[in-house]
Amino acid sequence: MDILYFAWVRERIGVPRERIETSAATVSDLVAELRSREERYELAFSDLGSLRVAVDQELADFDASLAGVREVAFFPPMTGG
Amino acid sequence: MDILYFAWVRERIGVPRERIETSAATVSDLVAELRSREERYELAFSDLGSLRVAVDQELADFDASLAGVREVAFFPPMTGG
Amino acid sequence: MYVSVQDQPFDLGTVSAKFAEGHSNNGAIVTFTGLVRGGADDRLEAMEIEHYPGMTEAALNAMAENAINRFSLGDALIIHRYGRLVPGEMIMMVATAARHRKNAFEAAEFLMDYLKSRAPFWKREISDSGASWVASKDEDEDALSRW
Amino acid sequence: MYVSVQDQPFDLGTVSAKFAEGHSNNGAIVTFTGLVRGGADDRLEAMEIEHYPGMTEAALNAMAENAINRFSLGDALIIHRYGRLVPGEMIMMVATAARHRKNAFEAAEFLMDYLKSRAPFWKREISDSGASWVASKDEDEDALSRW
């Protein structure tokens, strides 16, 4: 599964994207798995209220299923316009 | 005093403007004086609710005073934009 | 601030580009452009617009000044044509520049609402069945009550 | 319908003029243009805009289609830049064409509200005191509740 990071999430993780093998069932499970890995993930995901997630390029909730999903992206609230 | 007419008021009166001598104190008095003149004025001023008036180029009410006024204009509700 | 009452066409592109120049303190620019529609069954041949020379310019200047003060605009523009126009031609435009989008949008709507029923223009539609003065709409008069 | 996500500047005049062409059934055209402001004390050197290639285009297309359906638009346009922009440069624009002004205005505001907090762009401000990510505003999120 491809995991993408944008804005300050990308800066904290240190890479814009990475491919990982995971059996996480939901976005929340994936976040828990990442947080347990290294300090930089713990730091990036410390406040989920300030994070947004997209699953296969569509905005989603943290309880969204990852079944059949190819790409998950984490980022702060968007500031377009 | 110069009296101006626009749109269908102009068409009913038959002229775009005319100069008249009047001692009318208010717009309403002026309207009454005009209506008593000729059929075409009676026709143009038959429904005051569908008329608007400007006194010296500012929108006004029919009870506006004509003291010192140089120009009065009658026209239907405006349809700009 | 720029106000023009003219019989000649204006170029939306040129006017918009010029209006947007040098607004480093205004992050939001809104334009509204009104065009002559062809009518329900495209039978409109032309629209003729009559106005009240002198009063028109004064009324439009007052509206632009009001909008600038009320919505703290950095700039405002009104162009309105008169004379004979055919379907597809631009009748008028307004433009507003403000720090934030809310004020720019509101000011443009404010100007449009006032232009519709407080600027001395009268439209007449010419079709193959004759000519008729456009009636004012109650909804246009009602729109003023929100300001 | 026209949607573009680009790093290159766009010309407001050219885009506006082209968008307005041939709308003989749409009497009302609204444009909104967003510019980089210099900041409270003009200390902003640049704004850097990051986006999510792939998702951005899909999100903007969906927003334009939604606006067209919801407000019965004749046409809609969204252009949004990414990369490094300096104060005074145009960040983005939307344009809407409708039969009447109310729908054209509402659709443009609808698009702006969605672009602000539902399109995957992130702004970073560069000044002489460093770089900082622009925080989202509660009022931008709240603005969505009206639609």
Q: Which amino acid is at A39?
A: E
Residue C83 C-beta-side C-alpha neighbours within 13 Å: 10
Inter-chain contact C54–B78, Cβ cutoff 8 Å? Answer: no
Helix H or strand E encompassing C133: strand C130-133
Inter-chain contact C30–D112, Cβ cutoff 8 Å? Answer: no
Say which of B6, B57, B59 has its CB closest to residue C122.
B6
- Asked whether residue D135 is domain-assigned, the answer is no
- Asked whether residue D141 is domain-assigned, the answer is no
Q: Considering chain B, what is the average pLDDT of its residues?
A: 97
Q: Residues C54, B57: contact at Cβ < 8 Å? A: yes
Query: pLDDT-derived band of residue C43, with 50, 70 and 90 as boundaries?
Result: confident
Q: Min CA distance, C34 vs chain B (Å)?
A: 7
**Contact D94/C at CB under 8 A:** no
User: Which residue in D10, D11, D12 has the most chain C C-beta atoms within 10 A of its own C-beta, making it the best mutation to test that interface?
Assistant: D12
- Asked whether residue A66 is domain-assigned, the answer is yes
Q: Count of domains in chain D? A: 1
Q: Count of domains in chain B? A: 1
Q: What is the pLDDT of residue C40?
A: 67
- Asked whether residue A81 is domain-assigned, the answer is no
Inter-chain contact A81–D121, Cβ cutoff 8 Å? Answer: yes
CA distance linking residue B81 with residue C115, whole number of Å: 5
pLDDT exceeding 70 applies to what percent of chain D?
A: 97
| D23 pLDDT above the threshold of 80 | no
Tokens of D96: 């809407």
B16-30, B45-59, C10-24: which range is least confident on average?
A: C10-24
Number of H helices, E strands in chain C: 4, 8
**Contact C35/D at CB under 8 A:** yes
- What 3 state SS string does chain D have? CEEEEECCCCCHHHHHHHHHCCCCCCCEEEEEEEECCCCCCCCEEEEEEEECCCHHHHHHHHHHHHHHHHCCCCEEEEEEECEEECCCCEEEEEEEEECCHHHHHHHHHHHHHHHHHHCCEEEEEEECCEEEECCCCHHHHHHHHHC
Contacts of A6 in chain D (CB under 8 A): 50, 52, 120, 122
Q: Domain of C62?
A: 2-36+54-120
- The domain spanning residue C13 has which CATH number? 3.90.1170.40
Report the predicted TM-score, pTM, of the whole model to 2 decimal places: 0.95
CA distance linking residue C132 with residue D135, whole number of Å: 55
- The domain spanning residue B64 has which CATH number? 3.10.20.30
Cα nearest neighbour of B59 on chain C: C118
Say which of B8, B58, B78 has its CB closest to residue C117.
B78
Q: Which amino acid is at C127?
A: S
Cα nearest neighbour of D53 on chain A: A57
| C100 pLDDT above the threshold of 90 | yes
The mean pLDDT of C93-116, rounded to a whole number, is 97
**Contact B65/C at CB under 8 A:** no
User: Coil, strand, or helix at residue B70?
Assistant: coil
Q: Considering chain C, what is the average pLDDT of its residues?
A: 94
CA distance linking residue D40 with residue B19, whole number of Å: 57
CA distance linking residue C94 with residue C114, whole number of Å: 12
Contacts of A78 in chain D (CB under 8 A): 116-122, 136
For chain D, list residues whose CB is within 8 angstroms of any CB belonging to chain A.
34, 50, 52, 54-55, 58, 80, 91-92, 112, 115-124, 133-136, 140-141
Q: What is the pLDDT of residue C72?
A: 98
- Asked whether residue D26 is domain-assigned, the answer is yes
**Contact C142/D at CB under 8 A:** no
**Contact B4/C at CB under 8 A:** yes
Query: Are B and A touching by the rule of 3+ CB pairs within 8 Å?
Result: no
Question: Which among C70, C67, C73 is positioned nearest to C101, based on CA atoms?
Answer: C73
Cα nearest neighbour of C28 on chain D: D34
Q: What is the pLDDT of residue C109?
A: 98
What is the secondary structure of C42-78 as a DSSP string? S-EEEEEEEE-TTHHHHHHHHHHHHHHHHTT-SEEEE
- Asked whether residue B80 is domain-assigned, the answer is no
A38-74 tens-digit pLDDT:
999 999 999 999 999 999 999 999 999 999 999 999 9
Q: Min CA distance, A37 vs chain D (Å)?
A: 25
Inter-chain contact A7–D112, Cβ cutoff 8 Å? Answer: no
C51-65, C123-137, D35-49, D115-129: which range is least confident on average?
A: D35-49
Query: pLDDT-derived band of residue C25, with 50, 70 and 90 as boundaries?
Result: confident
H runs (alpha helix) in chain B:
7-13, 27-35, 39-44
- Asked whether residue C72 is domain-assigned, the answer is yes
User: Coil, strand, or helix at residue C111?
Assistant: helix
CA-to-CA dists, residue B28 to B13, B64, B75, angstroms: 17, 8, 14
C60-95 tens-digit pLDDT:
999 999 999 999 999 999 999 999 999 999 999 999
- Asked whether residue C101 is domain-assigned, the answer is yes
**Contact B58/C at CB under 8 A:** yes
Residues 6+ apart with CB under 8 A from C139: none
D42-84 tens-digit pLDDT:
689 999 999 999 999 999 999 999 999 999 999 999 999 999 9
Q: Domain of B8?
A: 2-75
